[in-house]
Amino acid sequence: MRLNAWLARAGVASRRKADELIKAGRVTVNGAPGELHTVVQPGDQVALDGRRLARQELAYVLLYKPSATVTTASDPQGRRTVVDLVDHPARVVPVGRLDADTTGALLLTNDGELAHRLAHPSYEVDKVYEVECWTQPTDAELERLRAGVELHDGRSSPAVVRRLDGARIELTIHEGRNRQVKRMIEAVGRRVKRLHRSRYGPLTLEGLEPGAWRELEPLEVEQLRSTAASSLLP
């Protein structure tokens, strides 16, 4: 395991921040200064500023993200973050991102490899959203969403769409571009009033209230890993 990934797994910092610690000479492996390309082997002793570190156990958490919460580990503006809501001994970080006003299912983990694979566009992880528009979309507009719409960063993949009632629809996509659902709705001439992610892959919010979280069951973790393993990404 590369040193930056090992440090992230130990709960020290994100991989990017870990790279900064390594370049600053603050990390040693078996007493020698660590390098960006250093690979940590089982039994190696890793230390930060002379303090020996231990790798954390893998942890997987499902959070019912409430509104007015930012999907990040820290916020310079002092807003409440999703990490603030998860009182877990392991340093878990969110997989992907939900806008501050979007609610719903959010996975947090310290399994960097799985998080990377799940977030990669090659992996077709279903994300199911309940979308309330300000005005009712027409059947023709829903058909456009099903076919895929042009966005500034390329055409979206076809979505699975069904009308719930009135101005509410359910939209299933497997991409994860920035503000994608809102931009898709805007591309057909509507605007989103409320957005809620009801499912992420096999994970639903059954039994959770907004702001609450739970550990994933072993079977759920295996289902996520199976989803990741099914892609052609090397």
Structure tokens that stand for 13 in this block: 């910092």
> What is the C-alpha to C-alpha distance for residues 138 and 228, in angstroms, rounded to an integer?
35
Q: Which of 75, 84, 87, 99 is catalytic?
A: 99
Q: Is 99 in the active site? A: yes
Q: 3-state SS string over 39-58?
A: ECCCCCCEEECCEECCCCCC
The residue with tokens 């996509």 is 173
Cα–Cα dist 4/20, whole Å:
9
Q: How far apart are CA 116 and CA 175, in angstroms?
A: 14
How would you classify residue 165: left for phi > 0, otherwise alpha for psi between -120 and 50, otherwise beta? beta
- Catalytically active residues, by annotation: 99
